[in-house]
A = this chain, B = another copy of it.
Amino acid sequence: MLNQDCFLSKNWMGSKETYEEAKWVMIGLPFDSTCSNRPGTRFASNEIRYASYGLEEYSPMLNKELNSTSFYDAGDLNLPFGNPHDALFIIKNCANNIINDNKFIFGVGGEHLVSLPLIQAAYQKYPNMILVHFDAHADLRQEYLGQKLSHATVIRRVLDDISSNNLIQIGIRSGEKEEFLFMNENKTLCQTNDEIIKKLNEYNLNIPIYLTIDLDVLDPSIFSGTGTPEPGGMTYKELIEKLMLFKNKNVIGIDVVELSPHYDISGVSTVVAAKIIRELLIGFT
């Protein structure tokens, strides 16, 4: 007989054995067909999963171990390239199923467009939720290269449903003039920790929160493996600090997107993504 205990797991480090026993469900979303700059985010979820085993299970910052969390790594969805509509449909379906089982979703991209159906599915269940958007780019265009569905329009598409009052944007440092005008007018942009805390205090204490994290919010010095690197971003410590402002809140959905692992052959960007996900898993699931 084969002794499975001698073999390495094929799931994310610390994943529960079954879907049923987990409160959160991690899904990989290998899609990058609307990337305008350098594609390759389709490889991210698989590489991060493998890199998770290079990490420790224990987080000194949170003084807690991954095995005390409750998540299940369901693997990577099978998504068609060159057809954003169909890809989003498949993701939406899967997300609905998971949310209907009263579980929370932890999405791992893929390009930012894959966040759209996750956010939409969460919004159907939690219509008063706020969306917290970490990114270097505003992603607020009405369309991009003539397309309405694109990584550069994803937050605008979200605003087709959700009020801009329920949007908090953090780290944005690039966009069109119109996008910055919009952020100014709608006061969606919070740059400092104090601004974030103040903004959060405006909401009901228990309001559902969805975190969508485009990793290019980090400075390319620590995260070069992304399609549209944007100098002048956060350090790793600054990002973690900002994420932890949401620690004791009612977080009901998370996604982490836009790692393009092949652009950083040192592997550091993949490790950064994996460690951020570990901290999110330990802190929020």
Contact = CB atoms under 8 A, between A and B. Distances in A.
A82 B111 CA distance: 12
A146 B90 CA distance: 12
Contacts of A56: 174-176
B81 A145 contact: yes
Number of this chain's copies in the assembly equals: 6
Nearest to A54: B37
A78 interface: yes
- Name the prevailing secondary structure of the A interface residues: loop
Interface residues on A, range: 35 or more
Interface in A142-161: 145-147, 149-150
A60 B179 CA distance: 10
A182 interface: no
A20 B126 CA distance: 45
Most buried by B among A1, A177, A264, A266: A266
15 contacts: A2-B97, A6-B90, A7-B78, A33-B33, A35-B81, A58-B175, A63-B177, A63-B180, A81-B145, A220-B271, A229-B268, A232-B237, A232-B240, A264-B266, A265-B265
Given A10-B10, A10-B75, A232-B240, 20 more contacts: A2-B74, A6-B94, A7-B74, A10-B11, A33-B33, A33-B34, A35-B82, A36-B81, A38-B267, A54-B228, A60-B174, A82-B84, A82-B149, A83-B145, A220-B272, A221-B222, A229-B267, A229-B268, A230-B275, A231-B268
